[in-house]
């Protein structure tokens, strides 16, 4: 089938899947692949999980949509579960990550407005990625996503990710206008970039001292991916605002913006909304995903298998001259290369039946489902190392 009727935003591989089960996908010729991308950190409990299939089928036969003019029981239940797991207090449901971040940015604006700041600023990070809407593009970095979309809303100050001294400097220059800091605990799209341990804790202290909101984009890191329910839990802090999407719906579109304290009370009826956000289907799916993760201890599995995978990759690729660094947390792992390897993704799929992702040209990104086991870890290690030497 040709793709000529589609806008040219993507460059898909000539590979298409008909079905999936657990960690595996099958293409149109019946060939099996081990999925180490999980739809870019989405299918955390694996493909076609029987409990999810049952929940979706049953809900489709009961009720898909009523609008937020009426209360939605599954929405309440999912909000309760998410607040219990995270320590935040209230939730607004969206349909995607970018929308969840838009919600957070609106909260930052309102927060600043209530404090009497005429033009509130949000501190964001160099190389950040927060989405493709005009607001979230403005908060993101890099010409690849911003080129041609100039005159984006300019209410952001950028500082280098992980650099606490840079934050001291901007306090001097802009301190009174700053309402919030928005940051990914680990930068995913820019190549699994990690800050030093203690960075989030230092941001928490700074935000508390200055009465700024600490807003964490956990769209990629959240829902167990890094070996904790949320990446901030590695540092024993709680943000004021957190955004989620991706793994929360395991493929069914859903996003969420959580808040606590003042930030949880800023919206009033009419100040924000969404036709589809929080619909019964997406919220029931979200509840089922969280139950599966809890019951199968997939957060623990992500932590254990992630440590194992990093260790095995470091051992196996130790002598590979093209490997610059291997880093990550839980099952969010990057292998940074000195030189890009042509057709690496295609080769891994074609020759080894392994689906991987490469971001920013030179970093292999591994984001397998949280259900992955030791045997499959070996398959990833073998597939990646062989793809790199061919
Ligand atoms: C950290 C982060 N924030 C936001 C987004 C945007 O999410 P969505 O594509 O669902 O709008 C992504 C997507 O890759 C992401 O990784």
Q: Are 138 and 151 in contact (CB under 8 A)?
A: no
State mean pLDDT over 323-329: 98
What was the pLDDT predicted at 91? 98
Q: Is the pLDDT confidence value at 29 over 80?
A: yes
Q: How far is the CA of 114 from the centre of ligand 1 (A)?
A: 28
Mean pLDDT of the chain: 96
What confidence category does residue 151 fall into, taking pLDDT thresholds of 50, 70 and 90? low
pLDDT in tens, 284-325: 999 999 999 999 999 999 999 999 999 999 999 999 999 999
Per-residue confidence at 2, pLDDT binned at 50, 70, 90?
low
Q: pLDDT tens, 63-95?
A: 999 999 999 999 999 999 999 999 999 999 999
Q: Is the CB of 184 under 6 A from ligand 1?
A: yes
pTM more than 0.85? yes
- CATH code: domain 17-49+297-389 is 3.90.1150.10
Q: Which residues contact 190 (CB under 8 A, 6 or more apart)?
A: 127, 128, 129, 141, 142, 359, 360
CB atoms within 10 A of CB 4: 6
Ligand 1 contacts CB of residue 130 (under 6 A) = yes
First-to-last C-alpha distance (Å) of the chain: 31
Distance between CA atoms of residues 387 and 323, nearest Å:
13
Ligand 1: which atom is nearest the Cα of residue 133? 11
pLDDT digits (tens, 9 = 90+) for 192-251: 999 999 999 999 999 999 999 999 999 999 999 999 999 999 999 999 999 999 999 999
Please name the helix (run of DSSP H) or strand (run of DSSP E) that holds residue 121, with its range, or none. Answer: strand 121-125
Q: Is 246 a catalytic residue?
A: yes
Q: Is the CB of 187 under 6 A from ligand 1?
A: no
- DSSP for 219-266, please give it: TTTTTTTTSSSSGGGGGT---SEEEE-GGGTTTS--EEEEE-GGGGG-
Q: What is the per-residue pLDDT for 3? A: 56
Which are the contacts of 61, defined by CB distance < 8 A and separation ≥ 6? none
pLDDT, one tens digit per residue, over 252-294 is 999 999 999 999 999 999 999 999 999 999 999 999 999 999 9
**What integer is the mean pLDDT of 163-175?**
89
Q: Helix H segments across 258-363? A: 280-295, 298-316, 344-352
Query: How much distance in Å is there from the Cα of 96 to the middle of ligand 1?
Result: 8
Residue 347: per-residue pLDDT: 92
Q: What is the pLDDT of residues 91-144, one digit of tens each?
A: 999 999 999 999 999 999 999 999 999 999 999 999 999 999 999 999 999 878
pLDDT computed for residue 154 by the predictor: 76
Supply the pLDDT for residue 4.
81
pLDDT for 173:
84
129 carries an active-site annotation: yes
63-295, CATH topology level? 3.40.640
Longest dimension (CA), the chain: 62
Q: Which residues contact 33 (CB under 8 A, 6 or more apart)?
A: 17, 24, 25, 26, 27, 349, 353, 354, 355
220 lines ligand 1 (CB under 6 A): yes
Overall average pLDDT of the 138-166 stretch: 87
List Cβ neighbours of 208 (8 Å cut-off, separation of 6 or more): none
Among 73, 111, 112, 78, residue whose Cα is nearest residue 92: 78
Rounded to the nearest angstrom, the distance between the alpha carbon of 130 and the centre of ligand 1 is 6
Q: Where are the domains positioned within the chain? A: 17-49+297-389, 63-295
Three-class secondary structure of residue 64 per DSSP = coil
């Amino acid at each position: 089938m040709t793709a000529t009727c589609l806008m040219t935003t993507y460059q898909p591989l000539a590979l298409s899947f008909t079905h999936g089960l657990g960690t595996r996908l099958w293409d149109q010729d019946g060939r099996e692949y081990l999925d180490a991308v999980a739809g870019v950190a989405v299918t955390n409990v694996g493909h076609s999980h029987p409990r999810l299939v049952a929940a979706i089928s049953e809900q489709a036969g009961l009720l898909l949509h009523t609008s937020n003019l009426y209360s939605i029981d599954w929405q309440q239940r999912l909000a309760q579960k998410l607040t219990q797991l995270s320590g935040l207090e209230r939730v607004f449901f969206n349909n995607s990550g970018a929308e969840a971040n838009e919600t957070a940015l609106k909260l930052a604006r309102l927060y600043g407005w209530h404090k009497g700041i005429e033009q509130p600023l949000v501190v964001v990070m160099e190389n950040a990625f927060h989405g493709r809407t005009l607001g979230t593009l403005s908060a993101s970095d890099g010409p690849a996503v911003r080129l041609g979309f100039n005159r984006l809303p300019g209410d952001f100050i950028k500082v280098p990710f992980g650099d606490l001294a840079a934050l001291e400097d901007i306090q001097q220059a802009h301190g009174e206008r700053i309402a919030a800091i928005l940051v990914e605990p680990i930068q995913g799209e820019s190549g699994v970039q990690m800050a030093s341990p203690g960075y989030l804790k230092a941001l928490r202290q700074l935000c508390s001292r200055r009465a700024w909101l600490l807003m964490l984009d956990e769209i990629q890191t959240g829902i167990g991916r890094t070996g904790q329910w949320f990446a901030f839990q590695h540092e024993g802090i709680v943000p004021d605002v957190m955004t989620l999407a991706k793994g929360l719906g395991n493929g069914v579109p859903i996003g969420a913006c959580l808040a606590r304290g003042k930030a949880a009370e800023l919206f009033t009826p009419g100040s924000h909304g969404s036709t589809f956000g929080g619909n019964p289907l997406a919220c029931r799916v979200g509840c089922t995903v969280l139950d599966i993760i809890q019951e199968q201890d997939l957060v623990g599995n992500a932590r254990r298998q992630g440590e194992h995978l990093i260790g095995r990759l470091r051992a196996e690729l130790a002598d590979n001259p093209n490997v610059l660094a291997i880093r990550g947390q839980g099952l969010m792992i990057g292998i940074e290369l000195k030189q890009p390897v042509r057709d690496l993704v295609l080769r891994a799929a074609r020759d080894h039946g392994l689906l991987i992702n490469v971001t920013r040209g030179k970093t292999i990104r591994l984001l397998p489902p949280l259900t992955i086991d030791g045997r499959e870890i070996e398959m990833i290690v073998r597939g990646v190392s062989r793809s790199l030497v061919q």
